[in-house]
Amino acid sequence: MQIRGWFAFAFVLAGCGTTPAAPAGADAATDIAVDAASDLPSTADVATDLGSDAATTTDATCDPRVWDSGVGEAGAAITEVRQFLTNCRHNENTDMLVWHDAIYLIHRTYDSQVLSPDARLHLYRSTDQGVTFQEIRQFNYPARDIRDPKLVPFGNELRIYSLSRLPGFMAYDLGTDSLTTVARSTDGTTWSEPTPVYESGWSFWREIQVGARLYAAAYQDGDRSIIFLESADGLTWNRLATVFSDPCRIPLEPEPMFFPDGRVVIGIRMDDGPNYLDDGHEKLCVADPPYTHFECPTELPGRLDGPVTFEYGGDRWVIARAHLSGLRKRTVLYRWTGNLHDLQGVGLELVATLPSAGDTSYAGLVWTSPGHALVSYYTSNPDYDIPWWHGSLSASDIFMARLDMSRVTHGDTSPLHDRGVITKCRPFEDGGTLFPDVTLDATSSDAR
């Protein structure tokens, strides 16, 4: 997801008043290549590669010191948290994968969440279970932004699916001409350039292999509709069904969750909270093979931003961004409760809150041994609880956490809020007015 546009921020600013700047650390480091691992890329290297003076940035919103903390009250399952990268830039959108006995990590870097042709994806590899990483490649898309990378093994290749969009400020992903792209490698070191794999206007969220085929759910520019697709080669995709379509609910980031019998449940983030940047809701849709018809009977209070799901111990889990009051955010670990397969009594239990604040989440996860996982995510400096919009326009860092599932304990069984739904629907015939003066009419074609 991208920044929603200057109009949205003007709205937020009007409601939030003055936001305190994060004070500079007393011991601002001169060498800010943060991780103790000697083979991590230095901030100076990143700055040189991206044409930035980030290595010498002293702005008060960027504190380049190493963040140092224990796991605190994160939760019993979180045994270690460390800062992987800090460089006075906006680092975000992580993903991880184990491939050929190595861990691969990827993330986006730019000055902010804003769509920019100067954005880059940074790919790293670890051969020691995530203790150290070496950067092996950067990716961009000429004259366009690049973001939301996903690492996907398929056949004898490792692939990176990502999104490329036109630069600028576009509300609700309108007018971004989104392209889902793929870069391919047979050794993890030599890569093709990103190339489109589907028609413009659709953003794939996550590509998942089931049997010999790849499946993905995608959301439409303007955050209007969700579709489900399949592919035999991951390069040519066939649309199977419309999962959910309602521009008033602002659906995006659809996360597929497959079950052994072939059933798929898709969680859909909906940014339909009363203030557009509020909690929103999570729609759950279900289909059985051949996935040509979906039902969407369940809706949760509170949305899941940037979700990554996994299975362990017979349960389903998800790491996503949680929403506090005052536009404060956290990266959290939830356990799905109820019968997710049949969408009966479904809920979420908050198990752990990772050190995070401001703009955060969009995690990756890999298993390093039975019951033990390494989690990547991004966050503004956890020491300063700035609002999300502030964090999205300023520096954020990549963090790593160790997860020991044998230490999981029960948490909050009702962590989500329901602050309501927007009372106005965006008319799209005028290009997608952000805050229209038209009251939603339950009898109109635009009504929910």
Q: Which domain holds residue 142?
A: 6-18+29-407
Task: Give me 34's structure tokens.
Answer: 């943060």
Q: What band does 64 get if pLDDT is binned at 50, 70 and 90?
A: low
pLDDT at 42 over 80: no
- Given the DSSP bridges, would you call strands 238-245 and 251-258 parallel, antiparallel or unpaired? unpaired
Residue 46's H or E segment, with its range, is: helix 43-50
Direct distance between the N- and C-terminal alpha carbons of the chain, in angstroms, rounded to an integer: 23
The 3-state DSSP class for residue 311 equals strand
Ranges 7-11, 53-57, 89-93, 223-227: which has the least confidence: 53-57
Residue with structure tokens 């959910």?
Answer: 244
Q: What band does 275 get if pLDDT is binned at 50, 70 and 90?
A: confident
The neighbour count for residue 231, using CB atoms within 10 Å, is 18
Q: Check which CATH number belongs to the domain holding 386 and give it.
A: 2.120.10.10
Q: What band does 70 get if pLDDT is binned at 50, 70 and 90?
A: low
- Given the DSSP bridges, would you call strands 134-139 and 225-231 parallel, antiparallel or unpaired? unpaired
Rounded to an integer, what distance in angstroms lies between the CA atom of residue 128 and that of residue 79?
Answer: 18
Contacts for 1 with CB less than 8 Å, ≥ 6 apart: 148, 173, 252, 253, 305, 306
Q: What band does 74 get if pLDDT is binned at 50, 70 and 90?
A: confident
Contacts for 220 with CB less than 8 Å, ≥ 6 apart: 201, 202, 203, 226, 227
Contacts for 331 with CB less than 8 Å, ≥ 6 apart: 319, 320, 321, 322, 353, 354, 356, 360, 361, 363, 377, 379
As a whole number, the mean pLDDT across the chain is 83
Residue 92 domain flag: yes
Task: Give me 379's structure tokens.
Answer: 């966050």
Structural domain count, the chain: 1
Residue that wins the pLDDT comparison between 433 and 348: 348
User: Following DSSP, what letter does each residue of 324-388 receive, concatenated?
Assistant: -GGG-EEEEEEEEEEETTTTEEEEEEEEEEES--SSEEEEEEEEEETTEEEEEEEES-TTS---H
Q: What band does 65 get if pLDDT is binned at 50, 70 and 90?
A: low
- What is each CA distance from 142 to 20, 94, 116, 177, in whole angstroms? 36, 21, 10, 14
**In the beta sheet, which residues pair with residue 360?**
379
Task: Give me 290's structure tokens.
Answer: 């051949």
Residue 256's H or E segment, with its range, is: strand 251-258
Rounded to an integer, what distance in angstroms lies between the CA atom of residue 215 and that of residue 205?
Answer: 11
Residue 215's H or E segment, with its range, is: strand 213-220
Contacts for 336 with CB less than 8 Å, ≥ 6 apart: 315, 316, 317, 318, 346, 347, 348, 349
pLDDT at 93 over 80: yes
The amino acid at 184: R
Residue 402's H or E segment, with its range, is: strand 397-404
Predicted confidence at residue 423, as pLDDT, reads 81
Rounded to an integer, what distance in angstroms lies between the CA atom of residue 108 and that of residue 132?
Answer: 19
Residue 220 domain flag: yes
Q: What band does 268 get if pLDDT is binned at 50, 70 and 90?
A: very high
Residue 392's H or E segment, with its range, is: helix 388-392
Residue with structure tokens 């007015």?
Answer: 433
Predicted confidence at residue 326, as pLDDT, reads 87
Residue with structure tokens 């949680």?
Answer: 322
Q: What band does 39 get if pLDDT is binned at 50, 70 and 90?
A: very low
The amino acid at 337: T
Look at residues 421, 436, 170, 447 and name the one whose alpha carbon lies nearest to residue 276. Answer: 421
**In the beta sheet, which residues pair with residue 321?**
305, 331
Residue 444 domain flag: no
**In the beta sheet, which residues pair with residue 137?**
123
pLDDT per residue as tens digits for the range 334-346: 999 999 999 999 9
412: which DSSP letter? B
- What is each CA distance from 190 to 134, 183, 371, in whole angstroms? 15, 10, 32
pLDDT at 131 over 90: yes
pLDDT at 304 over 70: yes
Look at residues 97, 126, 102, 108 and name the one whose alpha carbon lies nearest to residue 46. Answer: 108
Predicted confidence at residue 61, as pLDDT, reads 53
Tell me the pTM.
0.84
For residue 290, cis peptide bond before it (omega within 30 degrees of 0) = yes
Predicted confidence at residue 20, as pLDDT, reads 31
Predicted confidence at residue 172, as pLDDT, reads 85
